[in-house]
């Protein structure tokens, strides 16, 4: 059941990010952007947890890349007579790469802002016994070599409450 819950949540998050009111709908509304941000296509959003160096070696990467995965599932049995009643820690990992250091972090921050706006707009009941209360954490990694010369990663982590019979 745990793998089913993880897959279900990952699929729901990908649907929210790529849907009509997803990330692309917010990219044009961000303030203070000098250059317009590239729209995300479905090939850039994947359901996988893979290290950046392995991803670069195994496939042709399109940047920005978005990986969505369930990091941890906890069945706390908060509701006694449910088979699963707990939470699933979910991560949206954004990777951006470009040939110049100038503007790399600012561009990544703008994509992160768009994802956060999608999450803020989707607080509440997600159906199928899933609900999102609105809390999230964002962690920015250091710039490293990779992708198109320089690469930076940001992780947005949040919990989805799950209650299923």
**CA dihedral of 76, 47, 116, 125, whole degrees rounded to 10:** -50
pLDDT at residue 51 in the model: 72
pLDDT at residue 52 in the model: 67
Taking the CA of residue 83 as centre, how many other CA atoms within 13 Å lie in the half-sphere pointing to its CB? 7
Which of 3.90.580, 1.10.10, 3.30.160, 3.30.2000 is the CATH number of 2-164?
3.30.2000
| pTM of the complete model | 0.89
pLDDT at residue 73 in the model: 93
Please tell me whether residue 165 adopts helix, strand or coil conformation.
Answer: coil
Q: Of 32-36, 91-95, 142-146, where does mean pLDDT reach its minimum?
A: 32-36
């Amino acid at each position: 059941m745990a793998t089913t819950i993880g897959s279900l949540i990952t699929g729901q998050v990908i649907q929210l990010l790529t849907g009509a009111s997803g990330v692309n709908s917010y990219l044009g509304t961000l303030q203070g952007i000098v250059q317009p941000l590239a729209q995300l296509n479905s090939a850039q959003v994947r359901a996988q947890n893979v290290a950046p160096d392995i991803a670069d070696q195994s496939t042709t990467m399109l940047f920005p890349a978005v990986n969505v995965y369930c990091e941890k599932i906890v069945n706390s049995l908060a509701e006694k007579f449910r088979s699963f009643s707990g939470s699933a820690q979910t991560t949206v990992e954004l990777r951006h790469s470009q040939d110049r250091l100038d503007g790399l972090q600012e561009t990544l921050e703008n994509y992160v802002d768009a994802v956060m706006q999608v999450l803020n707009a989707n607080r509440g009941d997600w159906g199928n016994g899933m609900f999102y209360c609105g809390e999230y954490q964002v962690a920015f990694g250091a710039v490293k070599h990779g992708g198109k010369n320089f690469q930076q990663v940001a992780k947005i982590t949040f919990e989805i409450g799950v209650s299923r019979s």
